[in-house]
Amino acid sequence: NLVLKNYPEQDVAKRIKSAMIEAVGLNEADIDAEAAALEAWAQGMTKDDITNAMKGEGDSPLSAIAKAAKDDQWWMYSRFFGIGLVRIMEIVGVEQDMSVAYDVMEEWVGKSMEKPFYTACSDSDLYFKTKGKLDMMETMMKEIEIREKKRMA
């Protein structure tokens, strides 16, 4: 939802999401349920709580994911994992800024999970750069729309 939330045709966005999930042989309902459970768990947590869970401490859904990743020498970071971490940052109140997210991503993936973090950090940078451009575009389109309405009146 974070990636396609501004897609102009939401019914097409839903079909794109479904196609991506089905293409890798996963069940969309299961993924949505797991995401909802993780979001519900993250509500009211702090960045430090998430850091501890990323170390594999506790019995939360996130700590189970982190433990499994840490125990798997072949585990590989993906952009979807990174987008999930950005969403968790948003839920726990981490400032949605490229420089802040870089440090948090380094802490969570690199220090807590003990996995290579450079790709995760560059992906979070890419996300915030793209989001910034989209936000500017939305603002510009709203300004144009307002100008057009004033001219028509």
Q: Say how many C-beta atoms besides its own lie within 10 A of residue 64's C-beta.
A: 13
Angle between helices 10-23 and 28-42 (to 10 degrees): 110
- At 76-109, the pLDDT tens digits run 999 989 999 999 999 999 998 888 999 999 999 9
Whole-prediction pTM: 0.81
CA distances from 31 to 14, 35, 43, 65, 138 (A): 14, 6, 18, 13, 30
